[in-house]
Amino acid sequence: MGARRIFVAAFLMLVFGPGHAAAQTYPSQTIKIVVPFSAGGPVDSLARSMVPHLQERLGQSVVIENRTGGGTSIGAKAAAVAPPDGYTLLFIGPNLAYYPVLFPDLDFDPVKGLAPVATIVTWSHVIAVAPQVPANNIPELVAHAKANPGKLAFGFGLATMPHIIGETFRQAAGIELTNVPYRGGEQARADLLGGRVHINIAPVPQLFSLIQDGKIRPVGYTGARRSPDLPEVPTMIESGLPQVGFHPDVWMGIFAPAGTPPAIVDRLNRDISAVLKSAEMAPALKRFGYEAKISTPAEFATFFAAEMQKWPPVLRATGIKPQ
Protein backbone atom coordinates (compact mmCIF):
# COMPACT_ATOMS: atom_id res chain seq x y z
CA MET A 1 0.00 0.00 0.00
CA GLY A 2 2.88 2.35 0.86
CA ALA A 3 4.52 1.63 -2.49
CA ARG A 4 1.24 2.40 -4.28
CA ARG A 5 0.96 5.78 -2.55
CA ILE A 6 4.52 6.61 -3.52
CA PHE A 7 3.76 5.63 -7.13
CA VAL A 8 0.62 7.82 -7.20
CA ALA A 9 2.48 10.76 -5.69
CA ALA A 10 5.28 10.35 -8.23
CA PHE A 11 2.75 10.12 -11.05
CA LEU A 12 0.97 13.29 -9.95
CA MET A 13 4.27 15.13 -9.65
CA LEU A 14 5.16 14.03 -13.17
CA VAL A 15 1.82 15.12 -14.60
CA PHE A 16 1.30 18.40 -12.78
CA GLY A 17 4.84 19.38 -11.84
CA PRO A 18 6.16 20.76 -8.54
CA GLY A 19 4.29 24.04 -9.03
CA HIS A 20 0.95 22.28 -8.79
CA ALA A 21 1.98 20.54 -5.58
CA ALA A 22 3.15 23.84 -4.10
CA ALA A 23 -0.09 25.54 -5.08
CA GLN A 24 -2.13 22.91 -3.21
CA THR A 25 -0.68 24.11 0.09
CA TYR A 26 -0.27 27.79 -0.78
CA PRO A 27 -0.11 29.93 1.24
CA SER A 28 1.44 28.26 4.25
CA GLN A 29 3.50 31.21 5.54
CA THR A 30 3.54 35.01 5.64
CA ILE A 31 3.39 36.78 2.27
CA LYS A 32 5.54 39.88 1.83
CA ILE A 33 4.55 42.67 -0.58
CA VAL A 34 7.47 44.91 -1.51
CA VAL A 35 6.32 48.51 -2.02
CA PRO A 36 9.15 50.59 -3.56
CA PHE A 37 7.50 53.86 -2.50
CA SER A 38 7.65 55.93 0.68
CA ALA A 39 5.74 54.72 3.73
CA GLY A 40 2.60 56.76 4.23
CA GLY A 41 2.44 57.81 0.58
CA PRO A 42 -0.56 57.15 -1.67
CA VAL A 43 0.72 53.90 -3.18
CA ASP A 44 1.80 52.58 0.20
CA SER A 45 -1.55 53.56 1.73
CA LEU A 46 -3.44 51.80 -1.05
CA ALA A 47 -1.41 48.62 -0.56
CA ARG A 48 -1.97 48.70 3.19
CA SER A 49 -5.70 49.25 2.76
CA MET A 50 -5.86 46.01 0.76
CA VAL A 51 -3.87 43.91 3.25
CA PRO A 52 -6.64 43.08 5.78
CA HIS A 53 -9.05 41.96 3.04
CA LEU A 54 -6.36 39.96 1.23
CA GLN A 55 -5.32 38.26 4.47
CA GLU A 56 -8.89 37.21 5.07
CA ARG A 57 -9.20 35.61 1.65
CA LEU A 58 -5.79 33.96 1.65
CA GLY A 59 -6.03 32.78 5.26
CA GLN A 60 -2.45 33.91 5.88
CA SER A 61 -0.61 36.98 7.12
CA VAL A 62 0.39 39.61 4.55
CA VAL A 63 3.00 42.27 5.38
CA ILE A 64 4.24 45.38 3.56
CA GLU A 65 7.95 46.07 3.17
CA ASN A 66 8.88 49.55 1.92
CA ARG A 67 12.07 49.41 -0.18
CA THR A 68 12.60 52.91 -1.59
CA GLY A 69 15.44 54.35 -3.64
CA GLY A 70 16.76 54.11 -7.16
CA GLY A 71 13.54 55.42 -8.67
CA THR A 72 11.76 52.25 -7.40
CA SER A 73 14.40 49.98 -8.96
CA ILE A 74 15.89 48.84 -5.64
CA GLY A 75 12.60 47.41 -4.41
CA ALA A 76 11.75 45.99 -7.82
CA LYS A 77 15.03 44.10 -8.03
CA ALA A 78 14.62 42.78 -4.48
CA ALA A 79 11.31 41.23 -5.52
CA ALA A 80 12.60 39.96 -8.87
CA VAL A 81 15.48 38.01 -7.29
CA ALA A 82 13.34 36.52 -4.50
CA PRO A 83 12.41 32.81 -4.62
CA PRO A 84 9.53 32.28 -7.09
CA ASP A 85 7.23 30.72 -4.53
CA GLY A 86 4.50 33.36 -4.14
CA TYR A 87 5.74 34.61 -0.78
CA THR A 88 7.41 37.77 -2.13
CA LEU A 89 5.33 40.08 -4.34
CA LEU A 90 5.89 43.54 -5.82
CA PHE A 91 3.41 46.43 -5.80
CA ILE A 92 4.37 48.85 -8.59
CA GLY A 93 3.20 50.56 -11.78
CA PRO A 94 4.59 52.01 -15.02
CA ASN A 95 7.84 52.93 -13.23
CA LEU A 96 9.12 49.59 -14.53
CA ALA A 97 8.84 50.92 -18.08
CA TYR A 98 11.00 53.95 -17.22
CA TYR A 99 14.04 51.86 -16.32
CA PRO A 100 15.45 51.45 -19.87
CA VAL A 101 15.73 55.25 -20.13
CA LEU A 102 16.43 56.33 -16.56
CA PHE A 103 18.64 53.41 -15.54
CA PRO A 104 20.18 51.90 -18.70
CA ASP A 105 22.86 50.11 -16.68
CA LEU A 106 20.39 48.38 -14.37
CA ASP A 107 21.51 44.82 -13.66
CA PHE A 108 18.11 43.16 -14.01
CA ASP A 109 15.35 43.03 -16.62
CA PRO A 110 11.84 43.59 -15.19
CA VAL A 111 10.24 41.81 -18.15
CA LYS A 112 12.32 38.68 -17.67
CA GLY A 113 12.50 38.92 -13.90
CA LEU A 114 8.84 39.53 -13.03
CA ALA A 115 5.54 37.73 -13.67
CA PRO A 116 2.38 39.90 -13.91
CA VAL A 117 -0.19 38.77 -11.32
CA ALA A 118 -3.00 41.35 -11.16
CA THR A 119 -3.71 44.96 -12.06
CA ILE A 120 -5.05 47.06 -9.18
CA VAL A 121 -6.05 50.66 -10.03
CA THR A 122 -5.63 53.60 -12.40
CA TRP A 123 -5.73 57.39 -11.86
CA SER A 124 -4.93 60.85 -13.29
CA HIS A 125 -3.31 63.99 -11.83
CA VAL A 126 -3.90 67.62 -10.95
CA ILE A 127 -1.27 70.30 -11.63
CA ALA A 128 -1.10 72.80 -8.78
CA VAL A 129 0.93 75.90 -8.00
CA ALA A 130 1.96 77.76 -4.85
CA PRO A 131 -0.13 80.85 -3.95
CA GLN A 132 2.66 83.26 -4.93
CA VAL A 133 2.54 82.06 -8.55
CA PRO A 134 0.28 84.49 -10.47
CA ALA A 135 -1.60 81.87 -12.47
CA ASN A 136 -5.15 80.54 -12.26
CA ASN A 137 -4.98 78.24 -15.26
CA ILE A 138 -2.49 76.56 -17.59
CA PRO A 139 -2.25 79.38 -20.18
CA GLU A 140 -1.47 81.87 -17.40
CA LEU A 141 1.11 79.49 -15.90
CA VAL A 142 2.79 79.06 -19.29
CA ALA A 143 2.83 82.83 -19.86
CA HIS A 144 4.37 83.45 -16.43
CA ALA A 145 6.97 80.73 -16.93
CA LYS A 146 7.96 82.15 -20.33
CA ALA A 147 8.30 85.62 -18.81
CA ASN A 148 10.47 84.19 -16.00
CA PRO A 149 12.55 81.38 -17.53
CA GLY A 150 14.02 79.01 -14.98
CA LYS A 151 12.58 80.87 -12.00
CA LEU A 152 9.74 78.43 -11.30
CA ALA A 153 10.81 75.30 -9.42
CA PHE A 154 9.02 72.03 -10.17
CA GLY A 155 9.16 69.53 -7.28
CA PHE A 156 8.54 65.84 -7.95
CA GLY A 157 9.32 62.32 -6.81
CA LEU A 158 12.14 60.99 -8.96
CA ALA A 159 11.09 58.62 -11.76
CA THR A 160 7.38 58.95 -10.93
CA MET A 161 4.51 59.83 -13.24
CA PRO A 162 4.44 63.46 -11.96
CA HIS A 163 8.08 63.63 -13.08
CA ILE A 164 7.11 62.38 -16.55
CA ILE A 165 4.04 64.63 -16.79
CA GLY A 166 6.10 67.65 -15.71
CA GLU A 167 8.74 67.03 -18.36
CA THR A 168 6.06 66.47 -21.00
CA PHE A 169 4.38 69.73 -19.93
CA ARG A 170 7.66 71.65 -20.03
CA GLN A 171 8.44 70.45 -23.53
CA ALA A 172 4.90 70.82 -24.92
CA ALA A 173 4.56 74.37 -23.53
CA GLY A 174 8.08 75.41 -24.50
CA ILE A 175 8.95 76.65 -21.02
CA GLU A 176 12.01 76.44 -18.79
CA LEU A 177 11.56 75.11 -15.23
CA THR A 178 14.05 74.32 -12.50
CA ASN A 179 13.69 70.65 -11.61
CA VAL A 180 13.88 69.69 -7.93
CA PRO A 181 13.79 65.87 -7.56
CA TYR A 182 12.84 64.18 -4.28
CA ARG A 183 12.78 60.60 -3.07
CA GLY A 184 8.99 60.86 -2.84
CA GLY A 185 6.15 63.22 -3.65
CA GLU A 186 5.39 63.96 0.02
CA GLN A 187 8.65 65.91 0.43
CA ALA A 188 7.89 67.88 -2.74
CA ARG A 189 4.47 68.87 -1.39
CA ALA A 190 5.96 69.95 1.93
CA ASP A 191 8.33 72.26 0.06
CA LEU A 192 5.45 73.51 -2.10
CA LEU A 193 3.74 74.68 1.08
CA GLY A 194 7.00 76.17 2.30
CA GLY A 195 7.47 78.15 -0.92
CA ARG A 196 10.69 76.35 -1.90
CA VAL A 197 9.07 74.88 -5.02
CA HIS A 198 6.29 76.43 -7.09
CA ILE A 199 4.69 73.57 -9.04
CA ASN A 200 3.59 70.10 -7.98
CA ILE A 201 1.67 67.35 -9.75
CA ALA A 202 -0.24 64.68 -7.81
CA PRO A 203 -3.44 62.63 -7.66
CA VAL A 204 -6.37 64.80 -6.61
CA PRO A 205 -6.87 63.27 -3.12
CA GLN A 206 -3.28 64.15 -2.13
CA LEU A 207 -3.82 67.83 -2.84
CA PHE A 208 -7.57 68.20 -2.33
CA SER A 209 -7.53 69.44 1.28
CA LEU A 210 -4.70 71.88 0.50
CA ILE A 211 -6.72 73.19 -2.45
CA GLN A 212 -9.86 73.53 -0.33
CA ASP A 213 -7.92 75.44 2.32
CA GLY A 214 -6.51 77.82 -0.29
CA LYS A 215 -2.93 76.80 0.44
CA ILE A 216 -2.28 75.86 -3.20
CA ARG A 217 -4.10 76.53 -6.48
CA PRO A 218 -5.13 73.91 -9.08
CA VAL A 219 -4.55 74.96 -12.69
CA GLY A 220 -5.05 71.83 -14.80
CA TYR A 221 -6.13 68.17 -14.76
CA THR A 222 -4.52 65.46 -16.88
CA GLY A 223 -7.53 63.16 -17.27
CA ALA A 224 -9.66 62.90 -20.39
CA ARG A 225 -12.57 64.44 -18.44
CA ARG A 226 -12.61 66.91 -15.55
CA SER A 227 -12.20 65.50 -12.09
CA PRO A 228 -15.57 65.18 -10.29
CA ASP A 229 -13.82 66.54 -7.18
CA LEU A 230 -12.47 69.59 -9.05
CA PRO A 231 -15.12 70.29 -11.71
CA GLU A 232 -13.96 73.88 -12.14
CA VAL A 233 -10.43 72.85 -13.17
CA PRO A 234 -9.98 72.48 -16.96
CA THR A 235 -8.34 69.41 -18.43
CA MET A 236 -5.04 69.73 -20.27
CA ILE A 237 -6.99 69.07 -23.48
CA GLU A 238 -9.22 72.07 -22.75
CA SER A 239 -6.12 74.07 -21.87
CA GLY A 240 -4.60 73.50 -25.30
CA LEU A 241 -2.03 70.85 -24.33
CA PRO A 242 -3.61 67.49 -25.20
CA GLN A 243 -0.22 65.74 -25.14
CA VAL A 244 0.06 66.30 -21.37
CA GLY A 245 -1.80 63.34 -19.87
CA PHE A 246 -2.14 59.72 -20.78
CA HIS A 247 -5.74 58.96 -19.76
CA PRO A 248 -5.27 57.52 -17.22
CA ASP A 249 -1.72 58.41 -16.34
CA VAL A 250 -0.92 55.68 -13.86
CA TRP A 251 -1.78 52.06 -13.14
CA MET A 252 -0.69 49.91 -10.25
CA GLY A 253 -0.32 46.15 -10.24
CA ILE A 254 1.13 43.22 -8.36
CA PHE A 255 3.96 41.13 -9.74
CA ALA A 256 5.67 37.95 -8.57
CA PRO A 257 9.19 36.75 -9.35
CA ALA A 258 9.41 35.09 -12.77
CA GLY A 259 8.96 31.34 -12.50
CA THR A 260 6.25 31.53 -9.84
CA PRO A 261 3.91 28.55 -10.51
CA PRO A 262 0.90 29.57 -12.64
CA ALA A 263 -1.47 27.98 -10.13
CA ILE A 264 -0.18 30.33 -7.42
CA VAL A 265 -0.39 33.33 -9.76
CA ASP A 266 -3.99 32.40 -10.59
CA ARG A 267 -4.89 32.01 -6.93
CA LEU A 268 -3.46 35.43 -6.11
CA ASN A 269 -5.20 37.00 -9.08
CA ARG A 270 -8.60 35.62 -8.05
CA ASP A 271 -8.27 36.81 -4.47
CA ILE A 272 -6.85 40.25 -5.37
CA SER A 273 -9.61 40.80 -7.93
CA ALA A 274 -12.23 39.73 -5.40
CA VAL A 275 -10.85 42.27 -2.91
CA LEU A 276 -11.02 45.06 -5.50
CA LYS A 277 -14.63 44.18 -6.34
CA SER A 278 -15.67 43.98 -2.68
CA ALA A 279 -17.85 46.50 -0.92
CA GLU A 280 -15.20 46.71 1.80
CA MET A 281 -12.62 48.23 -0.59
CA ALA A 282 -14.98 50.72 -2.22
CA PRO A 283 -14.57 53.46 0.43
CA ALA A 284 -10.77 53.26 0.23
CA LEU A 285 -10.76 53.51 -3.56
CA LYS A 286 -13.07 56.52 -3.40
CA ARG A 287 -10.92 58.15 -0.73
CA PHE A 288 -7.77 57.75 -2.83
CA GLY A 289 -9.51 58.79 -6.03
CA TYR A 290 -8.55 55.55 -7.77
CA GLU A 291 -10.50 53.42 -10.23
CA ALA A 292 -10.24 49.64 -9.84
CA LYS A 293 -8.69 47.85 -12.81
CA ILE A 294 -9.48 44.13 -12.99
CA SER A 295 -7.64 41.77 -15.33
CA THR A 296 -6.48 38.17 -15.64
CA PRO A 297 -2.74 37.38 -15.48
CA ALA A 298 -2.74 36.90 -19.27
CA GLU A 299 -4.47 40.24 -19.85
CA PHE A 300 -2.06 41.95 -17.47
CA ALA A 301 0.91 40.38 -19.28
CA THR A 302 -0.33 41.75 -22.62
CA PHE A 303 -0.97 45.19 -21.09
CA PHE A 304 2.43 45.22 -19.38
CA ALA A 305 4.25 44.32 -22.61
CA ALA A 306 2.52 47.25 -24.33
CA GLU A 307 3.48 49.60 -21.48
CA MET A 308 7.12 48.55 -21.76
CA GLN A 309 7.01 49.60 -25.41
CA LYS A 310 4.98 52.77 -24.82
CA TRP A 311 6.90 54.67 -22.17
CA PRO A 312 10.58 54.69 -23.21
CA PRO A 313 9.88 56.77 -26.37
CA VAL A 314 7.77 59.18 -24.30
CA LEU A 315 10.60 59.68 -21.81
CA ARG A 316 13.21 60.09 -24.52
CA ALA A 317 11.02 62.66 -26.30
CA THR A 318 10.86 64.77 -23.14
CA GLY A 319 14.64 64.84 -22.90
CA ILE A 320 14.77 63.06 -19.56
CA LYS A 321 18.33 61.90 -18.95
CA PRO A 322 19.62 58.74 -17.23
CA GLN A 323 19.84 59.16 -13.46
Domain boundaries defined on the chain: 2-121+251-318, 126-221
Q: What is the pLDDT of residue 1?
A: 45
Which is nearest to 166 in space by CA: 201, 120, 203?
201
Q: What is the pLDDT of residue 31?
A: 98
The phi and psi torsions of 121 (rounded to 5 degrees) equal: -150, 170
Single-letter residue type at 250:
V
Counting Cα atoms < 13 Å in the Cβ hemisphere of 88 gives 19
Assign residue 56 a region: left if phi > 0, alpha if psi is -120 to 50, beta otherwise? alpha
Pairwise CA distance, residues 305 & 177, whole Å? 32
32: exposed, middle or buried (C-beta count within 10 Å: 0-12, 13-18, 19+)? middle
C-beta neighbour count of 241 within 10 angstroms: 19
Q: What is the pLDDT of residue 151?
A: 97
Quick check: 236 and 245 in contact, CB under 8 A?
yes
Right CATH number for 126-221 from 3.40.190.10, 3.20.19.10, 2.60.40.10, 3.30.930.10? 3.40.190.10
Do 2-121+251-318 and 126-221 show the same overall fold?
yes
User: Which residue ranges in the chain fall short of pLDDT 70?
Assistant: 1-23
Q: What is the pLDDT of residue 3?
A: 53
Pairwise CA distance, residues 272 & 294, whole Å? 9
What is the pTM for the complete model shown?
0.80
Q: What is the pLDDT of residue 318?
A: 81
Pairwise CA distance, residues 10 & 193, whole Å? 65
Using CA of residue 42, residue 48, residue 53, residue 58, what is the dihedral sign?
A: positive
Q: What is the pLDDT of residue 22?
A: 61
Pairwise CA distance, residues 168 & 145, whole Å? 15
CATH placement of domain 2-121+251-318: 3.40.190.150
